[in-house]
Structure 1
């Protein structure tokens, strides 16, 4: 696949705010005017180097070269007006402005090349994330769904948090998980688990058998001799829900993951299982007998929020954790997308816009 190429200077601030070009040009004009007014005894020409220096911060190499040429031309013009063009001191000043301008142009060229490489990397990561963490549809059967993924690092696109929904016969299966590893190993485990879930969930095996399959997929991948030195640190906390199209009950298996929250008539209830299972990948080779579903009431209009611990472990400036259940109790709207938007905005306000961990959220509502 050929990725688009960005021309030099395309992402510079002056292209979005052309008025910025007036700043270095205005400086050149102002320095020349003041130098002419103060006379030959005061030499302000060397200050002209400020113009290309500022341009390098707001423009690309071409614009920096143009402003540098204007600065050199202005210094030559001032030298000619005051009759000192042939003096060694004046020629040294002209050479210095020229040298600095050339250095700034070279710097901008190198910086632009680096930005192009970074842009290509970001684009590849965006494509990879869309393949790995497919956006959930807004409607699956009788369910309305909204989801959100936020990377902790501003430049990150892929992390260890994951979610997926699969339409099975007469129901929907939804999984959320958090890989407890780091780097490419975490991304690889997330991709492996998502692939296993999507391949098996639609065949409608009993939920314990499905979760045992997911566990063994992670476990045996970690046990491979080629898994790498960091593989022993990798495991996955996960919650897997089965929501039938009919009836007023859902089934849940929780493998060491934060309990989903049920929002009903302004009340928030954790869907806490009595016997949580080990995280996926821990505990050896397991069978469906090692897992048990737990039922929970789920009526028309109820909202379920599943999330990773990056939400409830987010802290404010005083170190206070984000009180998710408390905030949900004060939530008055009624749709999953509105709920996700509300939690997103409230979470960023709580943390001051900075997150220390990836965050994944999925809201599910059964429609009448």
Structure 2
């Protein structure tokens, strides 16, 4: 059986009511009955109601009442109304603290329910990518710009289709529920078309039509689609998205750009030409990192962008997931906390030779 321990900050808060009452008792005894510190004993149950449950608040309130009686008898205050007034204030604050603790517990339970629903939505929308698909190994990392956030506007998917391994990484314009809804539309269209369309250009057109039907106004999605087969090449289709990083066997990095940039998904009504698919050599032992602009546009405190091309050494780790986690931690360290925008990274490692044997791990 495993035992969980509370963080130090929570333990300090839990003992605060006892410490406050102890300090008040000591000062009251030392100062004498003329100072009139007895009503301050109610601070104990007041703090308990803010940080503890209703049962703990009730226990602290009973202790506060006993302490109030003891100090009142010691100071001889019950011959005057002061002692009874102090007890009434402690009892009243205890009642309010219990009510506050009950209300806070209900809010926390509701928040826990909302978080569990968000986690389910994340598992449905952003499903875990397969560890291996065709000739590639895959690992994914998602860093939200909002602490405790479970889902956002970045999207990714890997589909092992009859036509090769199809991949998408995208970034929805905007934030909030609208961005999540748009991401769901893009991923739904991609997952269906990835199995049906024989070529990547047809897949992109299917996704574009679906997005154009659903989006309103000037909303759009930047995205990059990739197709990997056993011919040691990757076909890329770029819809206004940052180019991926291709890490060669010798550790050098390339950022393959399209012959001409196309508009993002959802803006086809403007009449511009769609993207042109282009091929890039992708051999065993090489790595392809697809990412959103939350990675390359992440800034440190001095305004410097994250130097992704200088971090290829972090991807030498044989385990793809640990390598991507090291890169994510380096990104967070660069920004001094969560990045200013959601940051998604999808790492693909070509691990199979043309004869079906595996390339050396971490080559």
| TM-score, normalised by the number of residues in structure 1 | 0.86
**1:100 Cα deviation after fit:** 2.0
User: 1:61 — aligned with what?
Assistant: 54
- Is 1:218 aligned with 2:211? yes
User: 2:355 — aligned with what?
Assistant: none
Q: Which moved more, 1:307-316 or 1:71-80?
A: 71-80
- 8 A Cα contact 1:160 1:181, kept in partner: yes
- 8 A Cα contact 2:218 2:267, kept in partner: no
Q: Distance in 2 between matches of 1:71 and 1:55?
A: 11
Number of aligned residue pairs: 348
Q: Distance in 2 between matches of 1:272 and 1:364?
A: 18
User: 1:267 — aligned with what?
Assistant: 252
Q: Which moved more, 1:145-154 or 1:302-311?
A: 145-154
- 8 A Cα contact 1:146 1:363, kept in partner: yes
User: 1:276 — aligned with what?
Assistant: 261
Of the three residues 331, 334, 338, the one matched with 1:347 is 331
Of the three residues 265, 285, 289, the one matched with 1:301 is 285
User: 1:317 — aligned with what?
Assistant: 301
Deviations 1:74-104 (A, max 9, x none): 1122223333214122222222222222222
- 8 A Cα contact 1:335 1:365, kept in partner: no
Q: For residues 185-224 of structure 1, what are the structure 2 equivalents within 5 Å?
A: 185-222=178-215
Deviations 1:194-247 (A, max 9, x none): 01111110224211111011111111222xxxxxxxx31311111000000x22
Q: Distance in 1 between matches of 2:185 and 2:270?
A: 17
Deviations 1:255-301 (A, max 9, x none): 100001101111000021112222111122989x9443201000001
Q: For residues 78-117 of structure 1, what are the structure 2 equivalents within 5 Å?
A: 78-117=71-110
Q: Distance in 2 between matches of 1:192 and 1:249?
A: 29
Against the structure 1 CA distance between its residues 35 and 199, is the aligned structure 2 distance closer, same or farther, given a 3 Å change threshold? same
- 8 A Cα contact 2:245 2:309, kept in partner: yes
Against the structure 1 CA distance between its residues 350 and 69, is the aligned structure 2 distance closer, same or farther, given a 3 Å change threshold? same
Against the structure 1 CA distance between its residues 263 and 101, is the aligned structure 2 distance closer, same or farther, given a 3 Å change threshold? same
Of the three residues 150, 170, 181, the one matched with 1:177 is 170
| TM-score, normalised by the number of residues in structure 2 | 0.88
**1:29 Cα deviation after fit:** 4.4
Q: Which moved more, 1:161-170 or 1:302-311?
A: 161-170
Deviations 1:35-79 (A, max 9, x none): 345544443323322322332343112211210221122112222
- 8 A Cα contact 2:130 2:138, kept in partner: yes
Q: Distance in 1 between matches of 2:348 and 2:267?
A: 29
- 8 A Cα contact 1:28 1:48, kept in partner: yes
Q: Distance in 2 between matches of 1:302 and 1:111?
A: 52
Name the SS of the counterpart of 1:306 in structure 2: strand
- 8 A Cα contact 1:216 1:285, kept in partner: no
- Is 1:156 aligned with 2:141? no
Q: For residues 324-339 of structure 1, what are the structure 2 equivalents within 5 Å?
A: 324-328=308-312, 331-339=315-323
Q: Distance in 2 between matches of 1:51 and 1:36?
A: 17
- 8 A Cα contact 1:146 1:337, kept in partner: yes
Q: Distance in 1 between matches of 2:122 and 2:246?
A: 29
User: 1:166 — aligned with what?
Assistant: 159
Q: Which moved more, 1:126-135 or 1:75-84?
A: 75-84
- 8 A Cα contact 2:45 2:97, kept in partner: yes
Of the three residues 132, 135, 149, the one matched with 2:128 is 135
Q: Distance in 2 between matches of 1:183 and 1:233?
A: 16
